[in-house]
Amino acid sequence: MSPSFNAIVPILCVVAAGIAALLAEAVREPGERAPIAGLGVIGLVAAGISAAWLWGRNATSFGVVSADNFGLFIVLVLVVIGLLTMAFSSQVVGRDRLPGGEYYGVTLLGLSGMMLMAMATDLLVIFLALEVLSLSVYVLTAIRRDSEASAEGGFKYFLLGGFSSAVFLYGIAFTYGIAGSTRLDRIGALLAAQSMGENPLALVAVGLLLVGFAFKVSAVPFHMWTPDAYQGAPTIVTAFMSTGVKAAAFGAFARVFLSAFEPLRPDWAPILWVIAAATMIFGTVVAVLQTNMKRMLAYSSIAHAGYILVGIVSANDVGKAAVLYYLLAYGVTNLAAFATIALLGTRERQNDDLQDVAGLATTHPGVAALMTVFLLSLGGMPPTAGFVAKWYVFSAAVGAGHYWLAIIGVLTSVVSIFFYLRIVVMMYMAEPAGGAARVPVLSRFGLATLAVSMIAVFYLGILPTRVLNLAAASIGTIF
């Protein structure tokens, strides 16, 4: 294979698996069960192996895609998210009568866009990758054609997503106007060589790009789509897009602002400081008021976006590495929490209200224990992955002198424990009401996947050194 294609081999593996999934759906007989999820697993495993093989080689393709260790780390995070999504979906797709070929095919193609976004070194390629993943997630959000909530969530997401894409594209246009290129290395070199801090076009470009990224990561005040899209989408789709989209968007966010636009950091850092603080506070406070678990976790995901933004605002080596580690810890934990809700649902009812899990510890003690672990990790309780991730981010903020940002992060984390423990209290201390939902029996495979996720959460919380070292080593390839 020509060396110019080496960097995109992980992406090609996932694209091939997505096409194979669509073809398998097209050729199967009516009623025939085809192992479509297995095709996705094969493609993702191949992508993971190729990413590991590319580690440390700094391969590039066509000058606009770079398989540096930073991008490969995020690709490996996306592989983990993809594999967990495939595993959890195996029970849900058939139960909810989702079109299997379309679901798995679009999910894999969306993952390919996420991987491309993480490794792209050109603003136009980032935009194309953003559109690939966005269109995939729009379709997945509205994939339950018989559900009004799913259609409404997909439509709102599509309208606001189209607006944010236009803003992002305008930002690229202004960037090209001041730099004469959309290549990140050339933009960074020009900004470093010339004093652009007083150039109004440069500030407009940074502002527009910031708005585009803030929308994708659900940062306040560009979070409006998140609760409705998360609640309306099938729960397993919510699990996927709440983790995969964030991993890809934050990867590109960090690459663009901490590399190409680093010379303008005195201009954008104060704005991002305010956005990070507002995102943590708003996401946490509004989550306290929710009684629907999907909306509660949706606002929780907004707050977590604020925590990750703290690492970008800090902009030191600890903060940059903290972003990578947080994406992995959050990805595993949040996906497993949403997947637990998905597995507890039925086709007729999602069982996503607080009252629906009342007495779950009595009827399904194993599921209740697993869910408790995931919720405590999201709250940042030791010895889980969430604790190490938050500690790492707040340490970066203190090291960079952003003491108030660290204090806000700690206080909102303490408040978040309240709404996470509300679910735990309902599972262990509440009696099922007369009209409580009937929770189905979970498959052994679903329970096994949840158990694997729990082991990963404890591993990242108790023995985080190896992953932290990989994250720290990864940032040296681009920053």
DSSP string, 267-306: HHHHHHHHHHHHHHHHHHHHHHT--BHHHHHHHHHHHHHH
Distance of CA 114 to CAs 49, 74, 98, 179, Å?
17, 9, 23, 26
Q: How many C-alpha atoms does 202 have within 13 Å on its Cβ side?
A: 23
Please report the pLDDT score of residue 479 as a whole number.
64
The whole-angstrom separation of Cα 254 and Cα 264 is 14
How many helices and strands, by DSSP H and E, does the chain display?
19, 2
Residue 396 has pLDDT above 60, yes or no: yes
Give CA angle at 316 (311, 321), nearest 5°. 60
Distance of CA 375 to CAs 28, 330, 422, 467, Å?
40, 11, 10, 22
> To which residue do tokens 């709404």 refer?
419
- Give the tokens for residue 244: 């995969």
Is the model more confident about 434 or about 191? 191
The whole-angstrom separation of Cα 379 and Cα 462 is 16
CA R_g for the chain: 21
> In sequence order, what are the beta bridge partners of 61?
65
Each residue of 226-259: pLDDT tens digit? Answer: 888 898 899 999 999 999 999 999 999 999 999 8
Please report the pLDDT score of residue 1 as a whole number.
43
Give CA angle at 96 (146, 337), nearest 5°. 115
Please report the pLDDT score of residue 436 as a whole number.
53
The whole-angstrom separation of Cα 344 and Cα 351 is 7
The whole-angstrom separation of Cα 424 and Cα 238 is 21
Q: If you write DSSP's letter for every residue of 108-127 in order, what string do you get?
A: HHHHHHHHHHHHB-BHHHHH
> In sequence order, what are the beta bridge partners of 66?
60
Percent with pLDDT over 90 in the chain? 65
> To which residue do tokens 């009252």 refer?
355
Q: What is the mean pLDDT of residues 361-389?
A: 93
Q: What is the mean pLDDT of residues 308-336?
A: 94
Alpha helices by DSSP H, listed for 120-234, are: 123-141, 148-179, 184-193, 200-216, 225-232
User: What average pLDDT does the chain have?
Assistant: 90
Please report the pLDDT score of residue 63 as a whole number.
85
- pTM summary value: 0.95
Percent with pLDDT over 70 in the chain? 95
Q: What is the mean pLDDT of residues 88-94?
A: 86
Distance of CA 269 to CAs 58, 74, 181, 264, 274, Å?
29, 23, 23, 8, 9
Q: What is the mean pLDDT of residues 86-98?
A: 86
Residue 2 has pLDDT above 50, yes or no: no
Burial of 451 (0-12, 13-18, 19+ CB in 10 A): middle
Each residue of 274-297: pLDDT tens digit? Answer: 999 999 999 999 999 998 899 999
Please report the pLDDT score of residue 251 as a whole number.
94
Strands 59-61, 65-67: pairing kind: antiparallel
Q: Are 228 and 156 in contact (CB under 8 A)?
A: yes
